[in-house]
Structure 1
Amino acid sequence: MSGNSAPEAPTLRRTLTLPLLTLYGLGVTVGAGIYVLIGTTVAQAGAYAWVSFLLAAIVVAFTAFSYAELATRFPVSAGEAAYVDAGFNSPNLARLVGLLVVASGMVSASAVSVGAAGYLGGLIPVSQSVLIIAVVISMGVLAWWGITQSVSVAALITLIEICGLIFVISWGFGMSENGGVTPAELIPPLTGPHWSGIAAASLLAFFAFIGFEDMVNVAEEVADPRRTIPTAIILTLIAATILYVAVSIAVLMSVPTDTLAVSAEPLTLVFANAPSSVQVGFAAIAVVATVNGVLIQMIMASRVLYGMADRGQLPTVLARLSPRTQTPWVATLFVAVAIMVLALFLPIESLAGWTSQIVLGVFVFVNIALIMIKRGDSSGGDHFSVPMVVPVLGIVTSFVLLGSTFL
């Protein structure tokens, strides 16, 4: 009997531990945002950009806890699609939400690819288009290589980019000449038109927090997901908020706001008067950080496509795994090509704005799904649980931030 049995189909490997998963979340969150969009955030909020990051963190926090419960109830790839399917009992709506998640990952990675090419162009005199193509292809190969290898590389890069941000904070507060605002100018008055700018900038700042939700889409590759995922989500959000607020204040105090607002390499401006070795060293860290964001979003989007295809919601060709690497190679190839096209033909501000709008829409659906699931399940169960008020506030805050884009 055993000699005639068909070989088992390859499956995803459960190898991601808490440190790796947390660094995975930090890698996409930190690398995708602050290195690229601090300048455009300052362009809208001025000296109060740090407040925009704080407001965005509050919006994210409620939905982050909702994701923590849902991920422990349904520890599968294509998490959002599975949550919505369970809550709404609508496969079509689940498919739509899953595709929105994929779109957000691809658009986000495209924005970060443009940012990576901007930093890389400061080191290598090559056209931006060529650099974008090189970044996307190299990250696509790494994503295909294997989940443990790619996430381990991403984790190492994440440690480097976090050290880079700590360096920015230290240099901005301790070594840089104070060419920006004073501490008193960082405090916004309680009323005034500046709050519309802060609210608008919060949408861009929200883009910088996109990443914690990506962790649920590698749930099938997480060891002990019911314990690991909630802790990793919370640690990612806390660490990212502290880093973003501190970096924003350090940069605002070091660099004039009008200079920050028009820069394609905003964080390098902190080191304008530093030795050339310091400038080049930080530029290299910035390249690595932004490239890391591309890799992790690519992993996430390909896993969502794989998970949906594996459950029959998309063509089964997208569920094909490489026998050698046990990664979804068709989905990874599709995602890489889409990222490259978007990055080559659309501006970074549009890409970031669209990503935030798509993700906020997904957040609304996910929070409603959790409410419906909790109303129909009073048994408790072996999973992380939050009070009903948490998804309700997740819906309200997501709608408020989404509505600010139309003001």
Structure 2
Amino acid sequence: MGSPQPAMLRRLGTFDAVVIGLGSMIGAGVFAAFTPAATAAGSGLLIGLVIAAIVAFCNATSSAQLAAQYPASGGTYVYGRERLGAWPGFLAGWGFVIGKTASSAAMALTFAAYAAPAGWERPTAVAAVVLLAAVNYRGITRTAALTRIIVVAVLAALAVVVAAAWVPGAADPERIVPEGPGGLLGHGWYGILQSAGLLFFAFAGYARIATMGEEVRNPRRTIPRAIVLALGIAVAVYAVIAVTVLSVLGPEGVAASGTPLADAVVAGSWSWAGPLVRVGAALASLGALLALIAGLGRTTLAMAREADLPRWLAAVHPKFRVPHRAELVLAGVICTIVLFADLRNAIGFSSFGVLIYYLVANIAAWTQTRADRRYPWFLQLLGAAACVALVATLPLPAVVAGLVMFAAGALYRTVRMRLASG
């Protein structure tokens, strides 16, 4: 038998945990998610945003309730194994790792699209992954410190968007919901639900708080509080930005724009602020990428401990107390994807994996006993039903890619189990 691995250290308080959650939620999603949502639902994306927020609240309360009982690295992978069995836990963890690895590559490419000169996007994206992996390698407090800086900068950029739209009078509330067939329900409920599934991608960052259960002080109190606080702040920010960009560009303008926030600023008299918004978008991508790498490392660590991934990935650095092998391997995989693929439109694929992840979380929370229950049971049932409904309304290519991803994971685990038993 090998020597026991060093333990992770509980260094994060409520504020740091909230900031890490915000760094995930108020990340590149706020700059990228409104375009596909407007394409699907027009002004109805506002209803989709409300639905996505409700689903996210149900899922967040389930995650908070489970994290209080199981304050360990791995999030829903651990909860699924403990409450439902090895297979549900594996599927949750597999969906998270594969889906979020693709999201990490997408965030790196999104950063490079804003920050790099033409022709240098992929090398710049790789450099960003390497830099942030190095920050994570040095310990969770370094991750939290850099995330604080990024979140403040991104919120400042979003404040510029709102001020540029409303102060000079570029915004027109009548554009938010146009008259006639293109109104709030003009794209039908299917389009609205599809926009909710796409916007849910933006709210999924609170999972990062739960995956770091071994690094939070007083986790039974800190994790539930941090998850709910971070989600509440993110919902408020997204609502303000959604109303703002619709009031300037209208639903058709948002759907036609690859950079709706920057275009909303340029449309007003503050066109000089456009570069500031682009810098904010680049930093938001870095913040999301930083949190993704941290969450992926912890989930990979948990899966490796149970041999659902190679066991040597379960190593914890003796000095920095981070899952260093997992983070280095993931950084290498992300860099490889960045060099050979273009995943800036991976929102639907990521949403599929995350919705399955939270379906498992809601079912696991529903099985908890009265002593460990913090929220009404109907929230877990509503969350589970909503996850299934939103998966069914995602774009067909995303659903097909997601099903292939889970089939590959099931095949991998089946083969591994047979080899281990043989």
The answer, yes or no, to whether TM exceeds 0.5 is yes
CA distance in 1, matches of 2:380, 2:110: 33
Query: Secondary structure at the residue paired with 1:261?
Result: helix
1:250 to 244, 247, 252: 244
Equivalence for 1:362: 357
- Greater Cα offset, 54-63 or 194-203: 194-203
Q: Does 1:386 align with 2:386?
A: no
2:208 to 207, 214, 220: 214
How many residues align? The count is 392
- Greater Cα offset, 352-361 or 199-208: 199-208
Contact conserved, 2:22 with 2:234, CA < 8 A, in 1? yes
Equivalence for 2:34: 38
Equivalence for 1:52: 48
How far apart are residue 186 of structure 1 and its match? 8.7
How far apart are residue 222 of structure 1 and its match? 0.2
Q: Does 1:156 align with 2:152?
A: no
1:390-405 equivalence runs, <5 A: 390-405=379-394
Equivalence for 2:178: 185
Equivalence for 2:232: 238
Contact conserved, 2:109 with 2:344, CA < 8 A, in 1? yes
Query: Secondary structure at the residue paired with 2:164?
Result: helix
Query: Secondary structure at the residue paired with 1:219?
Result: coil
Query: Secondary structure at the residue paired with 2:83?
Result: helix
Contact conserved, 2:201 with 2:350, CA < 8 A, in 1? yes
How far apart are residue 312 of structure 1 and its match? 4.1
CA distance in 1, matches of 2:179, 2:337: 36
C-alpha change, 1:330 and 1:173, in structure 2 (3 Å) is same
Q: Residues 224-257 of structure 1: CA distance to partner in whole angstroms, max 9, x if unpaired?
A: 1111111111111111111111101101111254
C-alpha change, 1:117 and 1:219, in structure 2 (3 Å) is same
CA distance in 2, matches of 1:210, 1:342: 22
Q: Residues 287-344 of structure 1: CA distance to partner in whole angstroms, max 9, x if unpaired?
A: 1111110010010001111122234443221112223322211101121122233344
- Greater Cα offset, 186-195 or 66-75: 186-195
- Counterpart AA for 1:284: V
Q: TM-score, normalised by structure 2?
A: 0.86
Q: Percent identity?
A: 26
1:63 to 40, 59, 63: 59
C-alpha change, 1:103 and 1:8, in structure 2 (3 Å) is closer
Equivalence for 2:188: 194
1:303 to 291, 294, 298: 298
**Gapped regions of structure 1 (runs ≥ 5):** 1-5
C-alpha change, 1:343 and 1:40, in structure 2 (3 Å) is farther
CA distance in 2, matches of 1:252, 1:143: 37
Query: Secondary structure at the residue paired with 2:170?
Result: coil
Contact conserved, 2:40 with 2:187, CA < 8 A, in 1? no
Query: Secondary structure at the residue paired with 1:238?
Result: helix
Q: CA RMSD in A?
A: 2.5
**Gapped regions of structure 2 (runs ≥ 5):** 397-422
How far apart are residue 185 of structure 1 and its match? 2.6
CA distance in 2, matches of 1:263, 1:237: 27
Q: Residues 330-374 of structure 1: CA distance to partner in whole angstroms, max 9, x if unpaired?
A: 10112112223334413322x1101101111111112112222x2
1:343-358 equivalence runs, <5 A: 343-344=338-339, 345-349=341-345, 351-358=346-353
Q: Does 1:14 align with 2:10?
A: yes
Contact conserved, 1:36 with 1:112, CA < 8 A, in 2? no
CA distance in 1, matches of 2:123, 2:259: 18
